[in-house]
Amino acid sequence: AQSVTQPDIHITVSEGASLELRCNYSYGATPYLFWYVQSPGQGLQLLLKYFSGDTLVQGIKGFEAEFKRSQSSFNLRKPSVHWSDAAEYFCAVRDSGGSNYKLTFGKGTLLTVNP
């Protein structure tokens, strides 16, 4: 069964600092990978996704993520964090084939941004 691990429950960074949120997945074949962001009391918004091709994918709000098959990782990065980036971030994986669409989410990483 596929699974997603986000090792960091809570990360605090200063505004303007760089950010990297870790995500490791367990999946037998080539996965489809996603990052979502959830602002307090809100639903989720899709930041970016990786299906195939270039392993560095760009998303909205200045985020990017890199797929590393050898490390089973899909870490999210941003070169300079803004206070509005404070939110919870979820990594997710789904089956690249089959007719049953099912996303498996990690437990999330809460990002706090200090002024």
Residue 107 touches other proteins, criterion: CB under 8 A: yes
Check: CB of residue 7 under 8 Å from CB of residue 108. Answer: no
Check: CB of residue 65 under 8 Å from CB of residue 77. Answer: yes
Interacting residue with other proteins among 42, 58, 71, 112 (CB under 8 A): 42
Give bridge partners of residue 19 from the DSSP assignment: 78
Q: How far is the CB of 44 from other proteins (least distance, A)?
A: 4
Q: How far is the CB of 42 from other proteins (least distance, A)?
A: 5
Residue 103 touches other proteins, criterion: CB under 8 A: yes
